[in-house]
C-alpha cells in the first residue's frame, strides 16, 4: 500500500500498523510505504547524522546524497510504536546549471515503511506511485469519468463497469499498437495514453456517399481495414471535410 505525504500523521500510521496486525491471524500480509512530510524535520540534524554515518556519496560535482534508515517512535495518546523511516538526504553546492551556491541547498525526503528491503528498493517502490496516478488521470479525463452522471448508485455502478470494460479494451489496443502494423511512427514507448489511442486508432474521418442507390460510409483509401472493399475505397477529395 502506497500513500502520499498527506497520510503522514501518527494517527494514520498507527492505524495502518493495527490493520496490518489484524491480518496476520487470517494468514494475510500487508506492507505499506508512506511518504514522510518533512515540515518538522531538522535538515541540519539529518546532514550531521549522514556525516557521522559516512553515508554521503557524490552523485555529480556539487551534489551528494545519503540514504539512511532509522527506527523512529510515533505516539498517539498512550499508544507508542517504533516504525522504520528511510531518509534520502541531498546536499547541493552547485545547481544543475552549474551555478555555485553561497550556501548549500538541503533537501530531505523520507518514507515510512513496514518493509525490511533496502532503502533503494523502498524508494523505487514508492516512485511507482507516479504511473499509478497517471492511470487515474486517464480514467477521469480521457474517459470523462471525473463526475458520475447519476444520483443513483445502481446507475453509477453500471457506468463504472462499462468504463472499466472500455478502459481495458483501449489499453489492449494501445499495447498492440506499439508493435503491430497499426503502430504510428513515434519514439519508443512502453505504453500510450488512452487519449492517444483514441486519436490515432479509434477516431477516423469518414463521409456518407450516395452510391448505387444506397448510402455508403466512405473512410477513404488510407484505411487498411477497408482496402478490400471496392465500394468503400472510393477516392475522397483531399479538400473535402467530413459532413457527418
Digit-coded pLDDT (tens) for 183-204: 666 666 677 888 888 887 788 7
CA distance 110 to 89: 9
Residue numbers of the chain with a pLDDT score lower than 50: 226-241, 243-244
Among positive and negative, which fits the CA dihedral 139, 143, 146, 150?
A: negative
Non-local (6+) Cβ contacts of 83 within 8 A are 13, 17, 71, 72, 73, 74, 112, 114
pLDDT value of position 134: 81
pLDDT value of position 233: 41
- What is the per-residue pLDDT across 154-188, written as a single tens digit (0 to 9) for each? 999 999 999 999 999 998 888 887 766 656 666 66
pTM above 0.75, yes or no: no
What is the Cβ-side half-sphere exposure of residue 75, based on CA atoms within 13 angstroms? Answer: 2
pLDDT value of position 41: 83
Name the residue among 38, 51, 18 with its Cα closest to residue 85. Answer: 38
Domain residue ranges in the chain: 2-118, 128-202, 204-244
pLDDT value of position 160: 92
pLDDT value of position 222: 65
Cell of 165: 470494460
Amino acid at each position: 500500500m502506497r500513500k502520499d505525504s498527506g497520510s503522514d500523521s501518527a494517527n494514520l500510521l498507527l492505524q495502518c500498523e493495527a490493520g496490518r496486525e489484524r491480518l496476520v491471524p487470517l494468514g494475510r500480509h500487508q506492507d505499506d510505504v508512506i511518504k514522510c512530510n518533512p515540515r518538522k524535520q531538522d535538515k541540519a540534524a539529518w546532514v550531521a547524522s549522514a556525516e557521522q554515518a559516512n553515508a554521503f556519496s557524490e552523485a555529480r560535482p556539487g551534489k551528494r546524497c545519503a540514504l539512511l534508515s532509522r527506527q523512529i517512535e510515533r505516539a498517539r495518546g498512550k499508544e507508542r510504536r517504533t516504525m522504520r523511516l528511510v531518509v534520502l538526504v541531498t546536499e547541493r553546492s552547485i545547481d544543475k546549471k552549474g551555478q555555485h551556491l553561497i550556501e548549500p541547498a538541503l533537501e530531505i525526503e523520507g518514507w515510512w515503511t513496514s518493509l525490511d528491503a533496502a532503502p533503494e528498493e523502498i524508494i523505487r517502490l514508492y516512485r511507482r506511485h507516479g504511473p499509478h496516478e497517471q492511470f487515474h488521470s486517464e480514467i477521469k479525463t480521457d474517459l470523462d469519468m471525473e463526475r458520475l452522471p447519476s444520483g443513483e448508485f445502481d446507475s453509477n455502478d453500471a457506468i463504472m463497469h462499462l468504463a472499466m470494460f472500455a478502459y481495458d479494451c483501449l489499453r489492449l489496443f494501445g499495447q498492440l499498437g506499439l508493435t503491430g502494423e497499426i503502430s504510428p511512427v513515434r519514439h519508443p514507448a512502453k505504453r500510450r495514453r488512452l487519449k492517444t489511442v483514441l486519436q490515432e486508432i479509434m477516431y477516423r474521418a469518414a463521409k456518407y456517399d450516395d452510391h448505387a442507390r444506397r448510402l455508403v460510409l466512405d473512410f477513404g483509401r488510407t484505411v487498411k481495414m477497408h482496402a478490400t472493399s471496392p465500394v468503400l475505397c472510393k477516392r475522397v477529395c483531399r479538400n473535402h471535410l467530413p459532413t457527418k
